[in-house]
Structure 1
C-alpha cells in the first residue's frame, strides 16, 4: 500500500506552529499511511518557548514518533526587516532539508513525497515545492471569512490590476490561488456562509484545531488555585495574546474599569518591547510600577494580576465567565471551545476583521472597541472598558447560550460523522491521489 510523506513549513510564531503541529497530529492519527516532517524556521530572536513546546510534543506523542519528525533549519542571523525577505532567504535551507528527506526515503517501500503544507505566510515556499514537482497546500490559521477577503483582493489584483498596497505592506505576496488546496482552521457550523462561497478553489474546513491538552496545574499552580477559590462563571479574564501589550496610560484605564466594575478579574499584564524592536512582550517584575497607586491592595480580595497566562487552561476553568480578548483567531476558537463569551478588543493583523465577524455577523461576542488599532495610538477610556465588561458579564444569558451551543457544535464536528471529520478525509484522499 502506498505511503505518503508531507513536509510542513509553519511560520515561526508560536501560535502558528502549535496549530500546524496539531493538524499534523490529526492527519497522522487519522491515516497510518501518512508521515510528516515539520521544518522549524528560527527567527533571529531565540524563542525558548518554541523548543520547549516541540520537546513536549515529542514526549506526549510517542505513538506517532516514528511518523512525526521535527527538523531544525539553520538559524537566520540577518536583521529581520520583513517576513517576505526572511522566507526568501530560507528557501535554500528548506530545499536542502527536503532533499535529504527524499534521499533517505529512496527504498521501494519508503513513503513518497506527496506535498508541502505551508503556513499562510510561507507562500514563497511554493517555488520549492514546484522544484520537487510536489503540490502545495496552505494551512490557513485564521477564519474562512478572512480567507475569502484575501482571495477577493487577489482576484481584483490579478484581473483588474488593483493595487492592494493600501491594505497590506508592500512585501506581501498574493499566491493562494496557485496552491492545490487550502486547509482552514474553522468549521462549517461556525462560518457556513463564508465556506459555501468558495467555488473555484478546494477549501477544507478542518477545525477547530487547538492545543488544549495542558491543564496548567503543574506549570501555573498559583493561578489555578486562585481560580479554584472563585464562584462559577464569576471571573472576567483579560489577555491579549503572545504579542499583546499596552503602555502605562492604557493600563491605568483598564485598572480603573476593573476596580469600578467590582467584578472578579484575572488580568495578564505584559511589558511592551522597546520601540522599533521586533521582540515579544515580557513580564513585569513588579506590575505595581505601571498600575494606579494602591490598585493591587484595593482589589486584592477580588482580583489577580499575572504575567504570561496559560490561556487555554484558564478558559477551561469553570470560574471564568468572560474573556476580554484581542481576537486572534486561536483565541476566538479557544473561547468557543470552552463556551466562554468574548468582549472584543482587537489590536493588529486581521483581529479587527475577526472582532466584526464575532460581534456583528455571528452575534457571539460583545464589543469593547472594535475599531481599535495599536498603531493608531488610540486610547480606550475607563468608561468604555467598564461598559464592555458589564455587557460581557451581566444580563447576557442569550449570548452565553449561543456561545455554549457553538461550543457543542465545534466539538461534534471533529468526531466521525462531523463536517470537519469529513473534510479531513477528503483532504487525505487528495494527498494520496498525488501518488497515483
Structure 2
C-alpha cells in the first residue's frame, strides 16, 4: 500500500487554522493511506489561545498519521501597515517551510514503509509558498477557507485586472453594480471586500488569485447544494479542479475542560429559556463594536424585548492590529442602567462558546459578523442570521446570503469596521431593531430555508453525499498525481 503525505501550510488566523485542522482530519479519517503534517506559523498579532490544546489532542488521537510542526519564530516585522504585515510574515517563513519540507522529502525515501510526500496544501492567503513547492517539484493545492462565491469573485476580479485593466480600487465609494458571473443578481460595489477597495491591499489579493491557477486543485469549505449556481459557473479550462468538501466545522463542545469557566454558566442560563426564544449576538474571534454601535445595539435590544445573549468584547486600541478582549466591567461601555433593566431577559458575556450556543434549542436567531465559519455553523444548526459585517469579505458574504440565497436578513450590509478604510459607517438603532425582529420571526421564509439547508449540509457529509463524493475524487486525484 502506497502511503501518501500531505503537508499543510495554514494561515495562523484562528478561523483559518481551525478549519484547516478539521480538513486535514477529514482526509485522515477518509483514507488510511493518508498522512498529514501541519506547519504552524505564528504572527505577532494572532492569539493562539486554545489552538495548541486542540492541535495536541488531535495529534494524539490520529495514531501517528497526523502531526504538527511548529516552525521557528521569525524576526520582528517593522511594517505597521495592516495590509502588508501578514504577507511580509509569510515571505519570512518561506525558508522555514522549505527546510521542513526537505526534511519530509528525506524521510519519504528513507524506507519502503515511509509515506511519500505527494503535495503541499497552502491556505488561500499563503500562495507565496507555491514557490517552495515548485522548487522542490512537489504538487501544490489550495485550501480555500471561505465560500465558492468568494473564490469566484477573486478569480473574476483578477481577470478584470489582467485582461481588461479594471482596477477594483476605483469602485471605492461608488454606487456601481457589477455583472458578476457567479451571481444571478448584480453585485453592488459597496459590498466588495475591503481589501479590493484599498490600494495597499488589492494587488496582493489579485496575486493570490493568479497563483490559484498554478495549482493542481482547490479544496473549498462549502457544499454543492449551498452554492449550486456558483459551481456551475466555475467551469473554466484555466481554473484547476474545484472540490467542495464542506461544511468543515470544529463541532467540539465545551466538555473537554479547555474552555473558560463562563461557558457552563451560559449554558445553564440557556437551559432556563423557552425554545427558539433567544437572539444570540456574537461577532467572531476578531469582531467587536465601537462605543456608538454598542449604544445603538443596547437600545434596539431594549425596544425589541426579545431574550438575548450578547457576547460583548472590547476592540484593540485605536489604529492597532489585534484581537478583542473581554471587558473588565461591561457597564463602562453600556448605557447607564441597561443591565438592570434587562436582567430578566438578557445576559451580557465576554468570550462565547459559539458552537455550544448555536446548538442549544433556546437559540432562535443569530446576529453575526458573517465570517464564513460562523455562517456554516448557523446553517448546520438551522439558526437564521441577521448580518452586520465588519471587515474582510463579510459584506460580500451578507449579500450572498441575503440577496442570492435568501438564507439571512441584513442589519446593514455595507457596515464596516476596518482601519484601512479610514471612514465611518454608522449603524442605527432602527436598523438593528428591524434586523433582530426579522430574524426572530417564527414562520419566516428564511427560517424555513435555513432548516432545509441544515439538512442538506449534514447529508452532504454522509456516505454518498456530495461533499463525501467530492472528497473521494480529490483523494483519487492526489494519488494519481504522485511525483515519480
Q: Report the Cα distance in structure 2 between the residues aligned to 1:230 and 1:207, rounded to whole angstroms.
A: 32
Q: Which residue matches 1:391?
A: 438
How far 1:54 sits from its partner (Å)? 3.3
Q: Which residue matches 2:467?
A: 420
Q: Which residue matches 1:44?
A: 44
Aligned equivalent of 1:84, options 76, 84, 87: 87
Contact 1:216–1:224, Cα closer than 8 Å, also in 2: no
Q: Report the Cα distance in structure 2 between the residues aligned to 1:124 and 1:164, rounded to whole angstroms.
A: 22
User: What does 1:144-163 align with in structure 2 at a 5 Å threshold?
Assistant: 144-163=148-167
Residues 1:382 and 2:385 are matched in the alignment: no
Q: Which residue matches 1:131?
A: 135
Q: Report the Cα distance in structure 1 between the residues aligned to 2:74 and 2:266, rounded to whole angstroms.
A: 36
Q: Which residue matches 2:217?
A: 181
Residues 1:231 and 2:274 are matched in the alignment: yes
Change (3 A) 1:216 1:254: farther
Q: Which residue matches 1:59?
A: 57
Deviations 1:79-103 (A, max 9, x none): 3542221111110010011111222
How far 1:157 sits from its partner (Å)? 2.8
Gaps of 5+ in 2: 171-195
Deviations 1:106-157 (A, max 9, x none): 2222111100111100000000011110111111111011111111122233
How far 1:371 sits from its partner (Å)? 1.3
Q: Which residue matches 1:34?
A: 34
Contact 1:322–1:341, Cα closer than 8 Å, also in 2: yes
Residues 1:113 and 2:117 are matched in the alignment: yes
How far 1:78 sits from its partner (Å)? 1.6
Gaps of 5+ in 1: none
Q: Which residue matches 1:102?
A: 105
Q: Which residue matches 1:311?
A: 354
Aligned equivalent of 2:252, options 213, 216, 221: 213
Deviations 1:54-89 (A, max 9, x none): 333432553414010100011234235422211111
Deviations 1:165-217 (A, max 9, x none): 55251443232111111000000100000012112330000000000121468
Q: Report the Cα distance in structure 2 between the residues aligned to 1:65 and 1:44, rounded to whole angstroms.
A: 32
Q: Aligned to 2:461, what secondary structure does the other structure show?
A: coil
Q: Which residue matches 1:247?
A: 290
Change (3 A) 1:32 1:126: same
How far 1:383 sits from its partner (Å)? 1.4
How far 1:249 sits from its partner (Å)? 1.6
Residues 1:363 and 2:363 are matched in the alignment: no
How far 1:247 sits from its partner (Å)? 1.4
Q: Report the Cα distance in structure 2 between the residues aligned to 1:209 and 1:424, rounded to whole angstroms.
A: 12
Q: Which residue matches 1:19?
A: 19
How far 1:360 sits from its partner (Å)? 0.7
Contact 1:120–1:140, Cα closer than 8 Å, also in 2: yes
Q: Report the Cα distance in structure 1 between the residues aligned to 2:204 and 2:224, rounded to whole angstroms.
A: 32
Superposed structure 1 runs of 4+ greater than 6 Å apart: none
How far 1:396 sits from its partner (Å)? 3.6
Residues 1:326 and 2:366 are matched in the alignment: no
Contact 1:216–1:313, Cα closer than 8 Å, also in 2: no
Q: Which deviates more from structure 2 when the two are superposed, residues 68-77 or residues 22-31?
A: 68-77
Change (3 A) 1:75 1:65: farther
Aligned equivalent of 1:408, options 429, 449, 455: 455
Q: Aligned to 1:373, what secondary structure does the other structure show?
A: coil
| Alignment size in residue pairs | 434
